[in-house]
Structure 1
Amino acid sequence: MAEKEIWRPIKSYGIDYEGIYEVSDLGRVRSLSRLDSNGRPIKGVIMKPNLNKPYPEVSLSKNAKSKTALIHRLVADAFVEGHFEGARVNHIDENKQNNRADNLEWVTVLYNNTYGTRLDRVSNANSIPILGISKYTGSKIILKNALEAEGLGFSSAHISSCISGKLKQHGGFIWGKLDYSTYKSALTWLDEMID
């Protein structure tokens, strides 16, 4: 038997959308059938979320003003007890697409930033071997990760921006990532050169 979906009016981001939009405990958003400002009928529909962002979102409109709204926030505001000043919404299963009310909880910023496997995922992202090539001399720097570069006076954030293509260079070096086997081969070669 299919579970019963519960719908509630959206009251989020300081705006009351009652009579215009509703959100369900299963993480869906719908517009309601109503008349527009000229008296023409508008048919209600289940809204398709924008999935091109880290968190699914929808665009809500009232009085000719649009607001992009995160679906997990809409669900939490409507269904999850325990909101407090400065609270963040945490996905219990760490799946940003799962916006069911029973998968959401209000937490502190610190708890949200250290929840589950987040620290491991961030750590893994910072453990990609990198190569820096001097724009001026062509000399190369091979590092275990972007964080290691901070010990040499470089910014790991700027190096990451170079690797992702947002910056062309940082600190006079062009930066790129290495696959792990190339990194290990370079270390072996350096060890042989030193011996």
Structure 2
Amino acid sequence: MEEWKFIKGYERLYKVSSLGRVKSLTRQIKRKTGNYKIQGKLLSLIKMKNGYLRVGLYKNKKYKLYAVHRLVAEAFLDNPNNFPQVNHKNEVKTDNRVENLEWTTREKNINFGTRTERCKRKLSKKVRGTNIVSGEVIVFPSTVEAGKNGFSQSAVCTSCKNKKPHKGYIWKYVS
């Protein structure tokens, strides 16, 4: 069953639910022209480039974006160890149900679940460098290996994306 709690710092303005939804509350606004009523409603969530959901909240004429998973955790989960981050147990960034969230350390959050393995796969893309003068071709199993052989790992990655040379080679990912 869905449960609603006030959002800390926004009491009487907004509530967050145990299912990861956010709503504004019905309230009276005072203006020079008189008082009027603003009807409460469910708020739209914004999916960010990183895959997490955020919501915009207004208070005292100021607008601020908040991570929905963090609002849910702050409202529903105790944090006796004062951990700084919230982890999605099933690794689905849009699943902000309270039972899917837990407080954790940064290190545990980074190394949780399949993330490390997924990152290894991304890093293990083969790269091919073609010398812009001689046409010589060199191939490495990953940017990490290119880095171990006198090239900058990050510069090889950048070259693969923007086609600009690094140390006289144009780099490409090999499928």
Shorter chain as normaliser: what TM range? Answer: 0.7 to 0.9
Matched letter for residue 40 of structure 1: Y
Q: Deviations over 1:50-70 (max 9, x none)?
A: 114221111112112221111
User: Secondary structure at the residue paired with 1:40?
Assistant: strand
Cα distance 1:154–1:36, how it changes in 2: closer, same or farther (>3 A)? farther
| Deviation of the 1:127 alpha carbon | 0.8
In structure 1, what is the equivalent of residue 36 of structure 2? Answer: 40
Cα distance 1:41–1:103, how it changes in 2: closer, same or farther (>3 A)? same
> What do you get for the CA RMSD once the two structures are aligned?
1.9
Range 89-98 or range 139-148, more displaced: 139-148
Question: 4+ residue runs of structure 1 moved beyond 6 angstroms?
Answer: none
Identical-pair percentage:
37
Cα distance in 2 for residues equivalent to 1:151 and 1:44? 58
Gaps of 5+ in 2: none
In structure 2, what is the equivalent of residue 121 of structure 1? Answer: 118
Q: Deviations over 1:106-133 (max 9, x none)?
A: 1111111111111101101101111122
User: Secondary structure at the residue paired with 1:18?
Assistant: coil
| Deviation of the 1:83 alpha carbon | 5.0
Q: Deviations over 1:134-159 (max 9, x none)?
A: 33443322111111111123222232
Of the three residues 106, 111, 116, the one matched with 1:109 is 106
Structure 2 length normalisation: TM-score?
Answer: 0.88
In structure 2, what is the equivalent of residue 19 of structure 1? Answer: 12
What is the correspondence of 1:58-97 to structure 2 with a 5 Å cutoff?
A: 58-97=55-94
Cα distance in 2 for residues equivalent to 1:40 and 1:104? 38
Cα distance in 1 for residues equivalent to 2:157 and 2:136? 20
Matched, 1:175 2:171: yes
In structure 2, what is the equivalent of residue 186 of structure 1? Answer: none
Gaps of 5+ in 1: 180-195
Matched letter for residue 88 of structure 2: H
Cα distance in 2 for residues equivalent to 1:162 and 1:7? 49
Structure 1 length normalisation: TM-score?
Answer: 0.79
Cα distance in 2 for residues equivalent to 1:159 and 1:23? 44
Cα distance 1:90–1:40, how it changes in 2: closer, same or farther (>3 A)? same
User: Secondary structure at the residue paired with 1:163?
Assistant: helix
Given that 1:83 and 1:106 are in contact with CA atoms closer than 8 Å, whether structure 2 keeps it comes out as no
